[in-house]
Structure 1
Amino acid sequence: MNAFEVLQERGFIEQLTHEQEVKELFAKGGVSFYIGIDPTADSLHVGHFLTVMAMAHMQRCGNHPICLMGGGTAMVGDPSGKTDMRSMMTVETIDNNVACIKKQLSRFINFEDGSATIVNNADWLRNLNYIEFLRDIGTHFTVNRMLAADCFKSRMDKEMGLSFLEFNYMIMQGYDFYELYKRHNCVMELGGNDQWSNIIAGVELIRRKLGKPAYGMTFKLLTNSEGVKMGKTVGGAVWLDPEKTSPYDFYQYWRNVGDKDVENCLGLLTFLPMDEVRRLGALEGSEINKAKEVLAFELTKIVHGEEEATKAQEAAKALFGKGVVAGSVPSTEMDKADFAEGMDILTLLTTIGVVPSRSEARRAVQQGGVKLNEEPAKDVEMKITEATFKDGTLLVQKGKKVFHNVVLK
């Protein structure tokens, strides 16, 4: 199978330009394509991972990935899918984020012997001559066409509107594609479905200015069966950095996806053969839990390695089997002195991050959803002292799925 057939079978493809030409291009193979990554944090998250997997499948089929780090565009901020203007980041923050993400990408994409390329659009965007840029590139964009784009239309109706700074983003992304075409013979841009307007801008710029063929393709966004974006928890995004989201928490996130989402996630986020994906997705009743375990293990193995995936799986089984769990779940070290006068349970729950606020902590305790070393905690006024710990460890459980060890030091 060529890359187009693989992506289509696994459920990636949402929209594409010049469909017949794209199919013929993929049939020949050796396509040089790019995916842009917005360095708004120092780690990739689950939302990025879908496009990273698409890149990996493309590379496995003999095509050449170009990972474009948005060190230049991040100074403006992509308005796509945003109701408000993004917070401005310093150059130092952006450059640090770029460096961190570059390291992460090497775990999923093979960069050896020129098999893939990493570039940073800061190289050509940060020192642009504005007048020359407007004359050379701006003349190929019409304002009425740009305002018709979904990413701009939704903002025009808001009270804050759309800043002129953000209005430049589409032109900048189109210019990225143009530069990559000239520098690396890149003929295709891939991205999430929310990038369609920006991708079209680059395709049309190349075709108008250079008279050369260029193509675009978008992938479905990672959503559940109800159309809600996946990759968010009470504590925030599900990160690929183990320091931000532990391998255990990462495993548990996928172990707990909805029954209807298992097959879709297996197809998009693992390398399992599609026959196996369909078999697992067809399981019913309690059997679907086996498919969720496979999903969680395979994904954790890709992101964190097989050893961490095995640890996470064993930790989950130990927890739900009431086995020994010390050291196998997320933990927080706290000083004994913190508990000398007794720490109230609401403070403890918010400090270790199992709930985002005291009000939610109070609600969880009142509803009987909190256990300390497997004993229900029913009193919101309860004080946690050193005596509450067992061998210097306190296992905090919220609901059926959230566990956290507090370790005295």
Structure 2
Amino acid sequence: MTDILDELQWRGLVAQSTDIDALREALTQGPVTYYAGFDPTAPSLHHGHLVQLVLMRHLQNAGHRPLALVGGATGMIGDPRESGERTLNSRETVAEWTERLRGQIERFLDFEGPAAAELVNNLDWTESLSTIDFLREVGKHFRLGTMLSKDIVARRLSSAEGISFTEFSYQVLQGMDYLELHRRKDCTLQTGGNDQWGNLLAGVELIRKADGHAAHALTTPLITKADGTKFGKTEGGAVWLAPDMMSPYAFYQFWLNTDDADVVRYLKVFTFRSRGEIAELEQAVVDRPQARAAQRALAEDVTTLVHGAEATERVRQASQALFGREELRELDATTLGDAVAELPSAPGTVGQSAVADLLVATGLEKGRNAAKRTLGSGGVYLNNEKVEDDERILAAEDVLPGNVALLRKGRRNLAVVAVQ
């Protein structure tokens, strides 16, 4: 066993831990079975879960055995939020989302070999548990004062809406998960985000009180931007890992647009590049920031990790094609549609719409006279081909897969024509 804890700390993946020296010794002496939980409170995992999945893979690569828990039971309740009670989803919805999350998690871990991963569902040991048995066997080990002192509970109690007993009991259910996995799978380490520290400690304490055994907990820090603002929010909301909630193209572009001040830190957290490789990319940020080599490496690595190499190559080609460095007609309709989804657009009709009018309709020019001047100066491209005729009409051969045509003014001002 290598000292994986040093590697995780260097990558910025360690925030808090129970007895760090004891955990280091356990990880060094032999394979440790560990788990992280993922609740199906949405139909997809997001960037926050990605941190946990990367951590799990690092530990597995070091020879330790992962258990990925999808909370078919806890997902029907949901961890208490900062404000407001969650809307409880139906059993059918939770079951559907559980299967979606299982499919997403599977691509991150290795399910063969001596450190083979395993997917588990806490509904397996919770569904048949009676209320009396739950209170007698689990509830008796929890002290109300400790539960009330947890940050999120304290904040909710002092708010106008308060907190229901349902959400208040979440920490007991999560603690029971750790106890069950400890008994069933000899699990001795739970990982999670830093906001889960109180819940992780609940499980550690439950194992100690119920079985008299020591267990460990390890959290990852909240990932922020260099200016301290929250990482991972887009105009459309969270950075989802499911392609039907955030296209691979949009996902790739999110990482490609990382600020220079953040990119090296994100390379450490979200990729598996070596220290030497990251050092070279860090130097490239200093020497050649305009090349954005570090951002491209980050975008390609993370997109490949989440969506696969084939999808990454498609979106890379689409990204290049928009600016004339790849052939637009070689892109499939879905990838091209994703690539132009956020561009300004206007309808156009084959044989009727003039390029000058389309420049105005899409907002690339303010008026027809200005559009014709730009055309006359050679500054307009249709599907990356220069338009030299200021009376040019949209033709059938201009239509790309997905019934679109790409307009470009200058080097970087893009718009899309939705062909009627």
Q: TM-score, normalised on structure 2?
A: 0.80
Match of 1:86 in 2: 86
Which residue in 1 is equivalent to 2:337?
331
Alignment of 1:344-383 (within 5 A): 376=364, 378=366
Residues 372, 396 of structure 1: 8 Å contact kept: no
Q: Secondary structure at the match of 1:331?
A: helix
Kept in 2, the 8 Å contact 1:373–1:394? The answer is no
Q: Which residue of 2 aligns with 1:340?
A: none
Spell out the pairing of 1:148-159 with structure 2 (5 A cutoff): 148-159=149-160
Of residues 31-40 and 302-311 in structure 1, the stretch that sits farther from structure 2 once superposed is 302-311
**2:3, 2:24 within 8 Å by CA — same for their partners in 1?**
no
Unaligned runs of 5+ in 2: 345-357, 368-392
Contact 1:232 1:238 in 2 (8 A): yes
Q: How does 1:120-131 map onto structure 2 within 5 Å?
A: 120-131=121-132
- Between the aligned partners of 1:164 and 1:237, the Cα distance in structure 2 is 28
TM (norm. structure 1) is 0.82
Partner Cα distance (1:129, 1:44) in 2: 31
Q: 1:378 to 1:86 in 2, by over 3 A?
A: farther
Letter in 2 for 1:17: T
Aligned amino acid, residue 91 of structure 2: V
SS in 2 for 1:243: coil
1:281 Cα offset (Å) = 2.5
Deviations along 1:174-233, one digit per CA (max 9) or x if unpaired, are 011001101101001000000000000000010111100111000012222233332221
- CA, structure 1 residues 146+118, in 2 after alignment: closer, same or farther (shift >3 Å)? same
**2:12 and 2:200 mapped to 1: Cα distance?**
20
Q: For the structure 1 residues 248 and 186, does the alpha-carbon distance in structure 2 shift closer, same or farther, using more than 3 Å as the test?
A: same
Q: Go from structure 1 to structure 2 and tell me whether the alpha carbon gap of 1:62 and 1:323 turns closer, same or farther (over 3 Å shift).
A: closer
Aligned match of 2:323: 320
Between the aligned partners of 1:169 and 1:210, the Cα distance in structure 2 is 21
- How far apart in 1 are the matches of 2:21 and 2:359? 59
In structure 2, the residue corresponding to 1:244 is in which secondary structure? coil
Q: Which consecutive residues of structure 1, in runs of 5 or more, have no partner in the other structure? A: 333-348, 356-369, 380-385
Q: Is the 8 A contact 1:36 1:69 kept in 2?
A: yes
DSSP-derived class of the 2:292 partner: helix
2:293 to 290, 301, 319: 290
Aligned to 1:393: 404
The 1:290–1:182 alpha-carbon spacing in structure 2 relative to 1, beyond 3 Å, is same
Q: CA RMSD in A?
A: 2.9
CA distances 1:105-137 after superposition (whole Å, capped 9, x unpaired):
221101125701111001112232112211221
Larger Rg: 2
Tell me, yes or no, if the aligned pair for 1:331 and 1:406 is still in contact at 8 Å: no
Task: Give the distance between the partners of 2:362 and 2:323, measured in 1 at CA.
Answer: 11
- Is the CA contact (8 Å cut-off) linking 1:46 and 1:240 kept in structure 2? yes
Measure, in 1, the Cα distance between the counterparts of 2:360 and 2:10.
47
Residue in structure 1 matched with residue 311 of structure 2 by the alignment:
308
Give the fraction of aligned pairs with identical amino acids, expressed as a percent. 37
What CA distance in whole angstroms lies between the structure 1 residues aligned with 2:414 and 2:50?
Answer: 25
Distance in 1 between residues matched to 2:303 and 2:46, nearest whole Å:
13
Q: 1:153-186: CA deviations, max 9, x gaps?
A: 2212221111111000001100110011011010
Q: Secondary structure at the match of 1:131?
A: helix
Structure 1 residue 112 corresponds to structure 2 residue 112: yes
Distance 1:184 1:401 in 2: 55
Change (3 A) 1:316 1:353: closer
